[in-house]
Amino acid sequence: MDALDLARWQFGITTVYHFILVPLTIGLTPLVALMQTMWYKTQKDHWLRLTKFFGKLLIINFALGVATGIVQEFQFGMNWSEYSRMVGDIFGAPLAIEALAAFFLESTFLGLWIFGWNRLSKKIHLWTIWLAAIGVNLSAYWILVANSFMQHPVGAKFNPETGRAELDDFIAVITNNTAVAAFTHTVTASFLTAGTFIAGIAAWWIVRAVRQGKEAQAREVWRPAAIFGMITIIISGIGVAITGHYQGQLMSQQQPMKMAAAEAICETENGAGLSLLTIGDLTNDCDRSKHILVIPGLASFMASNDFNGEFPGVKDVQAEMQERYAEQFGPDQDYTPNLFVTYWSFRLMIGLGVFSAALAGAALFLLRGGNVTNKKWFATLGLIAIPMPFLASNLGWIFTEMGRQPWVVAPNPANPVDNVYMLTAMGVSPSVTWLHVMISMVLFTLLYAALGVVWYKLMARYTKEGIDSGHTPDHDPEADDSATQMTFVY
């Protein structure tokens, strides 16, 4: 491998590690805030217990997310200096705002929430977690603004004298329809992740508590948590489907090659079907594979909202791009991403949502009418379902970034061909050798692996401890200072 391949692997590895943590933080923070709001409004003890229980898990996840996220931005200077030189004036602005405003907001108020149980009034303390939740989601938006510029550059112009892209319209950058679509899809997917996380843990604890003779705890604490998670799964699942469909339509307009690669369809056709599987050799020669279990017209509907609409083919888009960019990159440049990765990551991203749906359906059936259950399969289903949205979110990012290749900044088809775009091979640092990248990649991978073990052990430990850890059972929930009687242990 050369420095380019290793730099791509390094960024991919660190991103996948980091994005294991991100969706849970985005989704769980407002859900914890909602739990505390329900306690504030109803003064029911189980909502306070659940707030503190899931709050512990949120803080662990947040801390590890910060540790793994810092490395991301350093890589732009270390491994991708040519990319940073080319578009740094535009790409750096939303990242700077994210760090100086959104991250400051979320970290400050999350700190006040952690240490404010014994010091702030109930109302002010409730506001701290809501402001933290707003900050977390604002942070996500600014990062997606930066990423969406790479997917669909707007608000910029190319200066031939400096060889750099310059910011032309900041409002256009932050209102990029690609960013809006990515944000809504990411947030709804994060709520699905957090809802499955809550419902899965609650399902496991319901069965465990009943088998330990704590049926009252199962019914009064864990059943409401499971119902809460189930409702979140249903609402966010619908949101994921709607926002994903909108993204598919934008993708077909802005990055037709990515849409074609998602289905590995060779020739442009009307009424293209969505295949569930392929057999054969799914290499970048799409003719060597055969699609099976095809749903007629669905691929065209995803791309154009019309079951008989035109769907782009890989070969046709490749020929069009070769003709358009022949002068800059030569007539033989390959503009086709890795079809195996794009085809299967797209399907697995969607297919893993079945586990969340199954968990919500099981909870709806078994917990109806105030019931709880001791069925072991329900607990097992809860544990199995928990990691699936995490994997789906990561596969979504893999599809998004791998499907953009070979571009690090994909061209905007609505702009002239001499506008802002850049091949990935042109963005790598020229002075960094493969050895430098290899050393840092190995070190980061080992460090992230160690942090992953720490994250898992802490999450498992506090999950197993349950709601009784650090809780004073005889507090008076009606008293104004009831929150000061609790101990928030980390």
Model confidence at 64: pLDDT above 90? no
CA atoms within 13 A on the CB side of 308: 0
Model confidence at 486: pLDDT above 80? no
Instruction: Report how far residue 113's alpha carbon sits from residue 107's, in angstroms, rounded to the nearest whole number.
Output: 10
Q: Tens of pLDDT along 121-145?
A: 899 999 999 999 999 999 999 999 9
- The pLDDT value recorded for residue 479 is 39
Selection from 212, 211, 309, 294 nearest residue 256 by Cα: 309
Residue with tokens 């009064």: 220
Instruction: Report how far residue 237's alpha carbon sits from residue 399's, in angstroms, rounded to the nearest whole number.
Output: 19
pLDDT cut 70: percent of the chain above it: 93
As a whole number, the mean pLDDT across the chain is 86
Contact 73, 95 (CB under 8 A): yes
230: confidence class by pLDDT, cuts 50, 70, 90: very high
Given CA atoms 123, 126, 128, 133 in this order, what sign does their dihedral have? negative
Q: How many other C-beta atoms can be found within 10 angstroms of the C-beta atom of residue 488?
A: 18
Instruction: Report how far residue 139's alpha carbon sits from residue 108's, in angstroms, rounded to the nearest whole number.
Output: 13
User: With helix as H, strand as E and coil as C, how does 315-340 read?
Assistant: HHHHHHHHHHCHHHHCCCCCCCCCHH
- The pLDDT value recorded for residue 232 is 94
Helical spans, DSSP H, in 421-485: 424-427, 434-465
Instruction: Report how far residue 107's alpha carbon sits from residue 269's, in angstroms, rounded to the nearest whole number.
Output: 50
Query: What average pLDDT does range 313-342 have in this prediction?
Result: 88
- The pLDDT value recorded for residue 418 is 67
Q: Tens of pLDDT along 377-394?
A: 999 999 999 999 999 999
Query: What average pLDDT does range 259-287 have in this prediction?
Result: 80
Instruction: Report how far residue 310's alpha carbon sits from residue 171's, in angstroms, rounded to the nearest whole number.
Output: 32
- The pLDDT value recorded for residue 476 is 39
Model confidence at 335: pLDDT above 60? yes
pTM here is 0.89
- The pLDDT value recorded for residue 281 is 66
- The pLDDT value recorded for residue 468 is 67
Query: What average pLDDT does range 438-448 have in this prediction?
Result: 85
- The pLDDT value recorded for residue 474 is 35
Model confidence at 77: pLDDT above 80? no
- The pLDDT value recorded for residue 283 is 66
Q: Tens of pLDDT along 277-286?
A: 777 666 666 6
- The pLDDT value recorded for residue 234 is 94
Q: Is 194 left (phi over 0), alpha (psi -120 to 50) or beta?
A: alpha
- The pLDDT value recorded for residue 280 is 67
Query: What average pLDDT does range 354-363 have in this prediction?
Result: 91
